[in-house]
Amino acid sequence: MKFKLYKISIIILMISFLLNPDFSIAEKYKLSRFVSPEICGDCHSDIYNQWENSMHNLSQKDPIYLKLSEFILKGLTEKDEIAEAESCVKCHVPIGVVTGYPKKLSDDKSKIPHIAEEGIQCDYCHSAIGAEKKYNNDLKLDPGYGEDDPGIKRGPYNDSESDYHETGFSEFHTNSKICGTCHNVKHVVFNTDLETTYEEWEKGPYNSDNPKNRITCQGCHMYQKPGIPSTGSTKRPENKGYASDDGPVRDHVFTHYFTGASSYVHEKFGDKTKASMAEERLKNAASVSINTEQIKKGKLFITITNIGAGHFLPTGVTDIRQMWLNVTISNDKQKTFYTSGKPDLNGYLPDGTIIYNTVFGDGNGKPVVKIAKAREILKDKRIPPLGSVIETLATPIFKSEKLTINVKLLYRTAPQKLLDLVSGKDKIKLPIITMAEIEEKT
Ligand code: HEC
Ligand code: HEC
Ligand code: HEC
Ligand code: HEC
Ligand code: HEC
């Protein structure tokens, strides 16, 4: 009898696993095992200030994430699509997920514990011991037992000592893989590649065996500081200083700003420094050149090169990112003959704009806006690291007048049309950043 019950409960367990793919995200650790970032900040004050209001800190407070995730889940009826839409919390609220709440996106947000709301934080990354899967956040953790017994904090040093916590050298932390397990996202059921930043880097020129050419994620993103965008096309000087307020001087202390391309979110939280760091980064990512030899025959050649990013341009959530060409041709009397990629009064891009992004499809060739429905990739037009794309524009045939040709490469983290749809007209107005610009007169 007992044996039968045991068998039945195994079967029930298996069925619930099959019915609910989220079942694998079960509670593993007591919340009290994690130490809040403020405590780490008592001794690591510089690092704390860099991390505070970073996209990692804001991963669960970011208004764009909150609005978009809500929109994606709303109205779904198919269980596979719902499973994807519910899975966002695994990366955006990671301490919550490993300690049992929230389990899924639709769980009541007002009940998320304070520490989990602090996003991707010190004790989460520094308790990590490895990751098997290179996608969908498969970090394995070994946290301590809370404030009074914080356990081992792992990092890049093999000679580090702290009275408060044990320390340990971790090769994993010095490697792009720790970033890659979250910066590669696959649909939980359809396996569609939703984000591939790590893979783009892994297959790209910066993942080189030659130490002179090799730059890890940390090699760009953890060298940046105000005034130092630290991209592939700029200097990446060492940041000499203290890793802890009472530690020794170190030749390089890895910075924790983690700025990418999002300036709006930092600005929203009052952090102008990080907002301008993100803009500087975008301004040192690409170059644009033009060839006007055949302009009078109605042809303009534009070359865009990814000189600064260790991955494709753009990368990450490229189904919403917008990087596009804004072209204007005018004569010496300021009359404009031709424009392309000029936002209209609503801030929407006109049809025909040359845009670098990804478009997902429903499996039958029809574009979908919600990633939960992404069964295929219909379009992936982006620029690989150190790679170039040449565009040939058909322009009007010009007579003999003098022309001014202006080309801008512009960037916005999401389409205004989408934001108006998910948050109400003009509630969120994203800045448009000029990444590169060139002007030539014939
Ligand atoms: C997204 C993961 C992540 C988060 C969040 C994070 N760190 Fe780090 N941290 C790292 C990595 C990775 C390194 C080592 C980089 C390397 O060696 O290439 C590091 C290095 C360090 C070091 C060694 C000194 C240095 O900077 O070189 C200290 C100390 C440290 N972090 C403390 C903190 C504190 C305190 C916080 C929270 C305010 C924090 N970290 C948040 C990933 C993280
Ligand atoms: C009471 C002060 C104090 C507190 C609180 C503290 N640390 Fe440290 N930590 C230190 C000192 C001192 C070092 C050594 C710095 C060095 O060697 O340059 C250190 C080193 C580290 C290192 C480097 C380890 C290595 O071997 O590479 C990491 C990572 C780290 N701390 C993370 C944390 C995290 C995460 C927290 C919060 C859970 C935290 N620390 C809280 C004092 C502290
Ligand atoms: C636990 C998962 C996780 C890990 C580990 C992680 N990240 Fe992130 N990272 C995220 C999420 C989620 C966001 C986006 C938060 C948001 O926009 O709401 C993000 C944002 C960023 C951004 C800002 C992007 C922007 O649009 O401005 C950069 C840069 C970044 N991460 C770099 C790194 C690097 C470098 C590492 C490794 C040292 C790393 N991340 C490790 C999950 C992670
Ligand atoms: C050679 C320098 C370099 C390396 C290496 C590098 N990045 Fe970047 N990263 C950049 C630059 C420049 C930008 C800004 C342009 C852009 O958005 O792509 C950026 C932007 C980002 C963004 C924001 C993208 C967006 O548009 O939302 C994320 C996220 C990011 N990087 C993560 C990573 C991760 C993870 C790795 C390692 C797998 C990595 N980066 C390696 C230079 C680098
Ligand atoms: C495997 C980890 C992972 C999962 C799961 C995940 N994300 Fe993210 N998310 C990231 C990373 C990494 C970034 C940063 C990439 C970038 O900036 O382009 C990000 C960035 C974003 C952004 C951009 C925020 C901004 O301010 O521009 C949005 C929106 C977003 N995610 C929505 C979602 C939604 C909705 C889900 C669930 C359907 C989800 N994410 C699930 C890792 C994840």
Q: Which residue, 279, 294, 310, sits at the end of a domain? A: 279
Domain range enclosing 27: 2-279
Q: Which residue from 53, 122, 139, 182 has its CB within 8 A of the most atoms of ligand 3, so it is best to mutate?
A: 182
In a shared domain, residues 341 and 241: no
191 and 266 part of one domain? yes
Of 223, 247, 279, the one marking the end of a domain is: 279
Pocket lining: 178 vs ligand 4, CB cutoff 6 Å: no
Identify whether residues 271 and 289 lie together within a single domain. no
Rounded-to-integer distance, Cα 105 and Cα 89, Å = 6
Task: Say what the pLDDT of residue 399 is.
Answer: 73
More confident residue, 277 or 330: 277
Q: Is the domain of 194 the same as that of 227?
A: yes
Question: Who lines ligand 3 at CB under 6 A?
Answer: 55-56, 58-59, 62, 65, 91-92, 94, 120, 125, 137, 178-179, 182-183, 217-218, 221, 258-262, 278, 316
pLDDT of 12 > 60? The answer is no
Q: Which of 5-19, 241-255, 306-320 has the lowest mean pLDDT?
A: 5-19
Range of lowest pLDDT (247-261, 289-303, 389-403): 389-403
> Is the confidence at residue 169, as pLDDT, over 80?
yes
* pLDDT of the residue at 24: 45
pLDDT of residue 10: 58
Question: Are 315 and 435 part of one and the same domain?
Answer: yes
333: confidence class by pLDDT, cuts 50, 70, 90: confident
pLDDT value at 16 more than 80: no
pLDDT of 25 reads 46
Q: Tell me what pLDDT residue 22 has.
A: 44
Say yes or no: CB of residue 185 within 6 Å of ligand 4: no
For the cut 50, the answer to whether the pLDDT of residue 23 exceeds it is no
- Taking the centre of ligand 2 as the mean of its atom positions, its distance from the CA of residue 57, in whole angstroms, is 18
Question: Which residue, among 278, 286, 315, 84, has the nearest Cα to 202 in the 3D structure?
Answer: 315
381-403 pLDDT, tens digit each: 999 999 999 999 998 877 767 88
Mean per-residue pLDDT, 290-316? 95
Residues 40 and 145 both lie in one domain: yes
In this prediction, residue 29 carries a pLDDT of 95
* CA-92 nearest atom, ligand 3: 12
pLDDT reading at 1 higher than 50: no
Q: Are residues 262 and 318 in the same domain?
A: no
pLDDT for the residue numbered 184: 98
pLDDT-derived band at 357, boundaries 50, 70, 90: very high
Residues framing ligand 2 (Cβ under 6 A):
35, 39-40, 42-44, 122-123, 126, 150, 153, 155-157, 160-162, 164-165, 167-169, 243-244, 246-248, 250
Residue nearest to atom 13 of ligand 5 (CA): 316
Which pLDDT belongs to residue 396?
84
Q: What is the pLDDT of residues 190-241, one digit of tens each?
A: 999 999 999 999 999 999 999 999 999 999 999 999 999 999 999 999 999 9
Closest residue by Cα to residue 261 from 209, 329, 313, 334 = 313
Q: Which numbered ligand comes closest to the C-alpha of 95?
A: 3
Residues 272 and 291 in one domain: no
Please say if the pLDDT value at position 415 is more than 50: yes
Q: How far apart are CA 155 and CA 416, in angstroms?
A: 40
Lowest mean per-residue pLDDT among 25-29, 52-56, 219-223: 25-29
Model pLDDT, residue 6: 60
Residue 220 exposed, middle or buried by CB count within 10 Å (0-12, 13-18, 19+): buried
Residues 294 and 255 in one domain: no
Q: Is the pLDDT of residue 27 over 80?
A: no
- At residue 95, the pLDDT reads 97
In this structure, are 253 and 399 located in the same domain? no
266 shares a domain with 373: no
Count of domains for the chain: 2
Supply the pLDDT for residue 8. Answer: 62
Give the tens place of pLDDT for each residue, 78-89: 999 999 999 999
For 3-28, what is the mean pLDDT? 55
Domain boundary among 279, 312, 339: 279
Shared-domain flag, residues 369 and 350: yes
pLDDT above 50 (res 143): yes
